[in-house]
Structure 1
Amino acid sequence: MMLIENKSKKLRKVPDHVVLSAGPNNRYWVVDVEERPGSKTLTISNHKSLQTTETCLLKDGWEMSPVLCGDVIHLEGCSNNGSWIVDREQGFLVLHPDTLISGTSIASGIRCMRRAVLGDMFKAPQWQISGHNCHHHRTFRHRDNVWSPRFGLKGKIDLTAQVSIQRPRNTSLRTSEMKTVPLELKTGKESNSIEHRSQTGNMHPVVAGHMDRRELVKLRNTLVHHIHNSLEKKDNKSNLCRLPEIVSNRQTCQYCPQRRNCALYERVVDGDSEHLQEGVIRDFLDQETGHVTAPHLKYFSHWLLLCFLEATTMEAKNGRKNVWLLSPEEGEKQGSCVGNLQLSGSVVTQSDGVYLHRFRRGCVSSQGPAVGLASGDRVVLSDQEGRFVGLATGYVREVSTASVSCTLDRSQQTSKTSYEEGSLSKDYTLIVGMPGTGKTTTICTLVRILHACGFSVLLTSYTHSAVDNILLKLKRFRVGFLRLGQGQKLVVATTCMGIKHPIFSRRKFDFCIVDEASQISQPICLGPLFYAKRFVLVGDHQQLPPIVQNHEARSLGMDESLFKRLERNSEAVVQLNVQYRMNRQIMSLSNSLMYEGRLECGSERTACAQVTLPFLLSVQSDLSFHSKSHPQHDLTWIQEALLPDNAVCFWTVQWLVPALESVEQGGVSNQTEAEVVHLLVSLLIKAGCKPSDIGIIAPYRQQLKSISGLLQSSAFIGVEVNTVDKYQGRDKSVIVLSFVRSTTEEGNLGELLKDWRRLNVAITRAKHKLLMVGSASTLRRYEPVEKLLTHLQQENMISFYQKLHLHHAVCD
């Protein structure tokens, strides 16, 4: 999907995110399009400078391909000194090949292209079908991924099975033959429909005949053109584009799964057009959308536009195409890939469809891990040569210098009031849980109460970890729950995206509880609410908001969650303001920054809690000895940092030493701050702090990589280095926060440190000690950090850092 603005003009600049290349996986930028009767000539280039160009002649039906200036294409065939010909007998043109389209979507576009486009926009849930197999010996795998970046296709093989094939009866040999084959499962009576044949042709384009492949690629190009051009810009304002026309055939539309979406979209984009006065289409729209009021239609239109805007930015930033466009060596240089892996040990089955794999790196750099992978990152597994792309998908469990572990999808007081409000609400209740106030415990208790009263509960959240944390607490109280499955259970838990499961089409719950509701965008949050009579939203809009990467969508309100929208009804809001995480000094930061003093400590024990450092005296003795040996070194700031009484400390590094940021591989880092963080963590561990009790936060992944490179010693195993977003809902005894930004130049300083809510999350992850490192002069340009620094200065919590070479004297 992309935003178009008068694409008939020649685009002379290639965007940074576009990858162009030659060879079998070529990618060309369309510089110019010249149309003539019966043919179309493209001027193309695979160099970002566009100084070297080639030509491609389209004819024999290919001239109808909807190619525009600024499109990316892939060409199959032979080039004669930079001249390509694509006609009836030779060659293929694949439009936007890095957008992988499923064979099912292409097949659905044969009779109605509008249905295929809507199917990509509004994906329907997968229905579970039961049936019978015959001549079936053994099933090896199911739902195998098939990606073809050359043809821009993707799909899933329903079954890979060993089957028994009987020879014809008129042959002398009557023995059966065993073969391993891919199976495509279909329901209903036997059919030789064009949709089924086209789907299997897409799944194996090499086997299909040239004519079939040619027509299917043309169909795919038309579909991907409409998907990429779903938005247009007029007068600097984005609008939804028209889709292919509605087919005026009642028989075709009668069983279409996109009937209502089709009618809604037409009402939104062109509801008052003259062509809609035609009887059949007018009746169709009235039948499907007659119940939709004008405010509802306006809401739908607004959020559909926002979702499309966000999709354009997500598509531009999506690095999935690098899986097949970059070699493993190039990917490792960019920090997005790790190659030359060999499976180590046996595969461990963790749960149904989830398998733990451990890989050993064949060639290890002496400088430590050269990849930007971190625990929890989503990854794609492919073979080293790039022949088989997307063999499996999963998540990184652990990554080190020599190995990578992944879970893959295949083998290879106020609280009491909130409980009452939640269970007695007529329609909905909002529970505002400030940092450390026990939102998970509150949800667990609320579920227990509703369960004891005989109510059915649907429990959802945006992340699997949040759902599992609640279920682990419920398990201790022997509350029967279902993590998707049998319908008779009273408590069913899933993520908000998991509501596509077929079970929800048959079940209506008494209550739906949504955790992390302030982080979920409105369309996603609304999904599970349709399956319950009443709902409870739990969150805090002063913490992380929904992630929106498109600036225009954010300015139009896409980062407003349903939680924040409904919070305007104060009668439905319950506040959790008593926290049991942070001590008094750390809590004061959040109170000053966001909560205006409303946040309270739950007990004196919480307010006065300190970090435990059993060997602090020994470290202080080493520091004193070093001070006597090197009088020119001021160690006051280090000694103050380690004192348990000093729960909050900020060190500004820009005055006494060079501590400027650097930009490399598209990321921002600060080596001086990384060294300070390393020094502080080393001293804390030497003083007796457990590595697992220490967390390091930085707003930029490049800085996380720099810090991780300094923590390769076995002494640091257990220290967690991550971004603010990954720490949401979690805490550590000690948090070390690196702000990174330090520059003397005016200009663009980025958006991350301008976010009040992200800063609030960062400073409320520590229970006993919060150590911050940054450049005060640079950070005062950010309004949220400036307010934080003002509070720290008033409380005398700011120190200056002098660069010292203490690692051998103190840390070893």
Structure 2
Amino acid sequence: MEQLDELELLMEKSFWEEAELPAELFQKKAVASFPRTVLSRGMDNRYLVLAVSTVQNKEGNCEKHLVITASQSLENKELCILRNDWCSVPVEPGDIIHLEGDCTSDTWIIDKDFGYLILYPDILISGTSIASSIRCMRRAVLSETFRSSDPATRQMLIGTVLHEVFQKAINNSFAPEKLQELAFQTIQEIRHLKEMYRLNLSQDEIKQEVEDYLPSFCKWAGDFMHKNASTDFPQMQLSLPSDSSKDNSTCNIEVVKSMDIEESIWSPRFGLKGKIDVTVGVKIHRGCKTKYKIMPLELKTGKESNSIEHRSQVVLYTLLSQERRADPEAGLLLYLKTGQMYPVPANHLDKRELLKLRNQMAFSLFHRISKSATRQKTQLASLPQIIEEEKTCKYCSQMGNCALYSRAVEQQMDGSSVPIVMLPKIEEETQHLKQTHLEYFSLWCLMLTLESQSKDNKKNHQNIWLMPASEMEKSGSCIGHLIRTEHVKTICDGQYLHNFQRKHGAIPVTNLLAGDRVIVSGEERSLFALSRGYVKEINTTTVTCLLDRNLSVLPESILFRLDQEEKSCDIETPLGNLSKLMENTFVSKKLRDLIIDFREPQFTSYLSSVLPHDAKDTVACILKGLNKPQRQAMKKVLLSKDYTLVVGMPGTGKTTTICTLVRILYACGFSVLLTSYTHSAVDNILLKLAKFKIGFLRLGQTQKVHPAIQQFTEQEICRSKSIKSLALLEELYNSQVPAPEQVEKGGVSNITEAKVIVFLTSIFIKAGCSPSDIGIIAPYRQQLKIINDLLAHSSIGMVEVNTVDKYQGRDKSIVLVSFVRSNKDGTVGELLKDWRRLNVAITRAKHKLILLGCVPSLNCYPPLEKLLNHLNSEKLIIDLPSREHGNLCHILGDFQRE
């Protein structure tokens, strides 16, 4: 307890005072907070800061003097002098720093012309994040904090596909027919099909957009690859830092070879990490002289801007490259849309400014917790200041989180300041939230941050470079001294099967099990995090891993280490969920009502309103094997509109109850998501369900799944069915009638509903009904357009297709209504909330009224919920059988041919 009290005192003082503190307290902080290897064995030029002071030099300029040591005993002190803009680095006593430059007489001098200081070098920040901080540091910090709240977009998917096509082509061929083949293969990969499915995009439209880029790929290859004479290459302006001032900057660049694809580099030397799109060998032809360099090639799919952010990313990748090879001194920036490539020199000034930005960002990420002015309360720290650029903020992906953090956290602090021009925007973004919601966000953001900074979670991946494999093996979380054996097998979609054996002796006793996530590194210091993946099999002689990179390109002599990837410190998912809970959406509002405002869950009064008539006998049969409390639990779940909590002591039959509940919900036609804290808990229930022939899809990593269940995993089913199209994937994910809505610039539509509407219309006409006696109603103009197009294609005329409002005061013998809305996130439109419009829609039919829609989605609209409850109680709701929409479309084709 005494040591903890002293450490708390130290932390208190380091927050608020700049005075030199007792060396023994620093020693305790160093030992408690950082691994001993930082100071005793250490990375090159890594130091503990003992004291910080600001002084004026002889010229009257301010300098920051740091008393530093690399000695565990805190002896052998050295001096680091920060000059010019380096004085702004927010370094404090007790911090760990890394220094680049020269040390003379135990004195380091870091100024505008020489040397770098890296603050908290064990915090690795991506080049993308640092480049984005140029315009707004706050946005960059928020993006690192709320990573999972950034939604994937169509542009991101297309960018990923284009990157992969280019990367495959540079190792194959840029011939037009080969590019077409590679594009087709890439779009068929299951991970891209999943993303298309999630974003509601068609394979054809993605393929078309990707193909628009391919001529530029050919142009680039023609300009920069494999020419005979250097004069054939486009002239470019590039001056390398090592060039003589007399050298002409005009040159020709020839890309000779692709050295690596998506090269993963972690650099605790510079506090950076990143994946380089393509690492290329280039020849720089300048007159009669030729230089050979290995450079990073950064690919961009957006607008050709040659912006400071894009160029900065390339400069940072040159720093990363220095971890593996000689300083490239420059990198290349290629815009795939135009095939235009720019050389980017990496001079000292650019690297200096970017590393200073990196230090500011690391400081904000490290100091997420602060003390209140009275030192009585632990609280979240302020983020970097909000910028006063409305245009930049308007299109910022973190605008919601920025405003939320400002209102919930920063505006509650004493002395907080927000730019006046941004106050209306902050109010607009958060006006849907109550004070209780803001307090909830602040509390749980603080709790999660404290958890992430606890002693057990603070390690992150630091032990990979701070602790030798022999030391880490003692904890059972690492296996070192491994060599790669056998050929690497390509499994699918960027998954490579590797076999490793101990160079000498057997595999040591370890905690690693099949299914565990691992990071593969080289034992030599520059080869950190070469690849990531899973342990597939492990025994006393061999470890088999499924990795995301093919390591066969590395020399056979390399010794590898496998480190278990710790997930205990991962707060990205809960923080992302906390952010989504505060969004201004229907689902988020409902969850806030239940979770924060404690609204009691609602229940339907009558079981008949939710239990389909044709399922009653099946449900009754299933219930026979249950006791009274279990049957009561079943009934409560079926009546629930929000949630039901079922509590039971160990051995009271909870697993049996859940299994039975799933069977009943399945019999009632519901879609069921079963989840638990552990894989085994889910599999125990699925093993029971399999005996009853209940169909299910097991999500998650196959390696973690029970062997008897593995045949039902997403990965195995996709492989066995050879899923290479979006249609096959939709069939897998949506075995019922797949009728999702589409939201495009033209509005909301539902193509499946439109096809069914046209099919039914053709049936009535074939049965003798006059087209003029049939009316079709839809609430959205885009849906009307699609239905009209389908009717015209089917040669059906004289059928009136209109909105609800246009049918006011008019009627038809037969009316078909397409409700359109069908989504999983509870998004509702204003049109279907209006009970007057609903009244008009259902009272226009003289003889026959047909309503077509998705019942779960429409139940989100109070007026429709009452109507659907009534229809269900009268047994007037008909569910289309699984995949029946496909048969309807075939029948519709037969009608068209007749």
- TM-score normalized by structure 1? 0.54
The equivalent residue for 1:101 is: 125
SS in structure 2 at match of 1:130: helix
134, 138, 143: which one aligns with 2:169? 138
Deviations 1:753-802 (A, max 9, x none): xxxxxxxxxxxxxxxxxxxxxxxxxxxxxxxxxxxxxxxxxxxxxxxxxx
Structure 1 residues 341 and 416 mapped into 2: Cα distance closer, same or farther (>3 Å)? farther
241, 247, 266: which one aligns with 2:387? 247
Are 1:200 and 2:310 matched, yes or no?
Answer: no
- Asked whether the equivalents of residues 510 and 534 of structure 1 are also in contact (C-alpha less than 8 Å), the reply is no
32, 57, 61: which one aligns with 1:16? 32
Q: What one-letter code is carried by the residue in structure 2 that aligns with 1:55?
A: L
Deviations 1:39-64 (A, max 9, x none): 11111112232122111111121111
SS in structure 1 at match of 2:31: coil
Shift of 1:422: 2.7
SS in structure 2 at match of 1:51: coil
Shift of 1:401: 4.5
SS in structure 2 at match of 1:345: strand
SS in structure 1 at match of 2:453: helix
- Asked whether the equivalents of residues 388 and 419 of structure 2 are also in contact (C-alpha less than 8 Å), the reply is no
Are 1:48 and 2:72 matched, yes or no?
Answer: yes
Are 1:322 and 2:475 matched, yes or no?
Answer: no
Shift of 1:442: 4.7
- Asked whether the equivalents of residues 388 and 422 of structure 2 are also in contact (C-alpha less than 8 Å), the reply is yes
SS in structure 2 at match of 1:75: strand
- Rounded Cα–Cα distance in structure 2 between residues aligned with 1:4 and 1:410: 42
Q: What one-letter code is carried by the residue in structure 2 that aligns with 1:33?
A: V
The equivalent residue for 2:300 is: 186
- Rounded Cα–Cα distance in structure 2 between residues aligned with 1:354 and 1:418: 44
- Rounded Cα–Cα distance in structure 2 between residues aligned with 1:437 and 1:139: 62
The equivalent residue for 1:677 is: none
- Asked whether the equivalents of residues 340 and 362 of structure 1 are also in contact (C-alpha less than 8 Å), the reply is yes
Shift of 1:300: 0.8
- Asked whether the equivalents of residues 55 and 82 of structure 1 are also in contact (C-alpha less than 8 Å), the reply is yes
Which sits farther off after the overlay, 335-344 or 415-424?
Answer: 415-424
- Rounded Cα–Cα distance in structure 1 between residues aligned with 2:826 and 2:166: 46
Are 1:385 and 2:524 matched, yes or no?
Answer: yes
Are 1:121 and 2:145 matched, yes or no?
Answer: yes
341, 353, 357: which one aligns with 1:215? 353
Shift of 1:18: 0.9
Shift of 1:180: 10
- Asked whether the equivalents of residues 85 and 91 of structure 1 are also in contact (C-alpha less than 8 Å), the reply is yes
Q: What one-letter code is carried by the residue in structure 2 that aligns with 1:364?
A: G
Unpaired runs of 5+ residues, structure 2, are 1-7, 56-60, 172-259, 288-292, 323-327, 329-345, 552-625, 700-713, 715-725, 737-821, 828-855, 861-898
Structure 1 residues 180 and 290 mapped into 2: Cα distance closer, same or farther (>3 Å)? same
- Rounded Cα–Cα distance in structure 2 between residues aligned with 1:166 and 1:89: 29
Structure 1 residues 189 and 452 mapped into 2: Cα distance closer, same or farther (>3 Å)? farther
- Asked whether the equivalents of residues 535 and 544 of structure 2 are also in contact (C-alpha less than 8 Å), the reply is yes
Shift of 1:226: 0.9
- Asked whether the equivalents of residues 476 and 512 of structure 2 are also in contact (C-alpha less than 8 Å), the reply is yes
What is the number of equivalent residue pairs in this alignment? 492
Q: What one-letter code is carried by the residue in structure 1 that aligns with 2:169?
A: R
Shift of 1:102: 0.9
Structural mapping, 1:591-630, within 5 Å? none
SS in structure 1 at match of 2:478: coil
The equivalent residue for 2:112 is: 88
The equivalent residue for 1:78 is: 102
Are 1:31 and 2:50 matched, yes or no?
Answer: yes
- Rounded Cα–Cα distance in structure 2 between residues aligned with 1:72 and 1:407: 36
Which sits farther off after the overlay, 388-397 or 283-292?
Answer: 388-397
Shift of 1:398: 5.1
Q: What one-letter code is carried by the residue in structure 2 that aligns with 1:67?
A: V
Are 1:281 and 2:422 matched, yes or no?
Answer: yes
Are 1:6 and 2:13 matched, yes or no?
Answer: yes
SS in structure 1 at match of 2:647: strand
Q: What one-letter code is carried by the residue in structure 1 that aligns with 2:13?
A: N
- Rounded Cα–Cα distance in structure 2 between residues aligned with 1:137 and 1:509: 37
Structure 1 residues 162 and 481 mapped into 2: Cα distance closer, same or farther (>3 Å)? farther
- Rounded Cα–Cα distance in structure 2 between residues aligned with 1:118 and 1:318: 21
SS in structure 1 at match of 2:52: strand
Deviations 1:586-644 (A, max 9, x none): xxxxxxxxxxxxxxxxxxxxxxxxxxxxxxxxxxxxxxxxxxxxxxxxxxxxxxxxxxx
- Asked whether the equivalents of residues 31 and 42 of structure 1 are also in contact (C-alpha less than 8 Å), the reply is yes
Structure 1 residues 340 and 456 mapped into 2: Cα distance closer, same or farther (>3 Å)? same
Shift of 1:90: 1.8
- Rounded Cα–Cα distance in structure 1 between residues aligned with 2:666 and 2:355: 54
Structure 1 residues 455 and 4 mapped into 2: Cα distance closer, same or farther (>3 Å)? farther
Structural mapping, 1:369-768, within 5 Å? 369=508, 373=512, 377-397=516-536, 399-412=538-551, 413=626, 415-432=630-647, 434-435=649-650, 442-463=657-678, 477=693, 479=695, 481=697, 483=699, 486=729, 489-490=733-734, 507-508=823-824
Which sits farther off after the overlay, 446-455 or 254-263?
Answer: 446-455
The equivalent residue for 2:269 is: 150
Shift of 1:362: 1.1
Q: What one-letter code is carried by the residue in structure 1 that aligns with 2:268?
A: P
- Asked whether the equivalents of residues 120 and 271 of structure 2 are also in contact (C-alpha less than 8 Å), the reply is yes
SS in structure 1 at match of 2:641: coil
- Rounded Cα–Cα distance in structure 2 between residues aligned with 1:129 and 1:98: 31
Q: What one-letter code is carried by the residue in structure 2 that aligns with 1:12?
A: F
- Rounded Cα–Cα distance in structure 2 between residues aligned with 1:467 and 1:142: 38
Structure 1 residues 279 and 33 mapped into 2: Cα distance closer, same or farther (>3 Å)? closer
Shift of 1:457: 3.8
Structure 1 residues 29 and 188 mapped into 2: Cα distance closer, same or farther (>3 Å)? same
- Asked whether the equivalents of residues 43 and 56 of structure 1 are also in contact (C-alpha less than 8 Å), the reply is yes
- Rounded Cα–Cα distance in structure 2 between residues aligned with 1:364 and 1:148: 31
Structure 1 residues 34 and 181 mapped into 2: Cα distance closer, same or farther (>3 Å)? closer
Unpaired runs of 5+ residues, structure 1, are 172-178, 493-505, 512-530, 536-812
- Rounded Cα–Cα distance in structure 2 between residues aligned with 1:444 and 1:420: 15
- Asked whether the equivalents of residues 4 and 229 of structure 1 are also in contact (C-alpha less than 8 Å), the reply is no
- Rounded Cα–Cα distance in structure 2 between residues aligned with 1:199 and 1:291: 37
Are 1:265 and 2:480 matched, yes or no?
Answer: no
Deviations 1:279-310 (A, max 9, x none): 42220221011111011111111101101111
The equivalent residue for 2:435 is: 294
Q: What one-letter code is carried by the residue in structure 2 that aligns with 1:237?
A: K
The equivalent residue for 1:68 is: 92
- Asked whether the equivalents of residues 268 and 301 of structure 1 are also in contact (C-alpha less than 8 Å), the reply is yes
Structure 1 residues 42 and 126 mapped into 2: Cα distance closer, same or farther (>3 Å)? farther
- Rounded Cα–Cα distance in structure 2 between residues aligned with 1:351 and 1:423: 42
The equivalent residue for 1:803 is: none
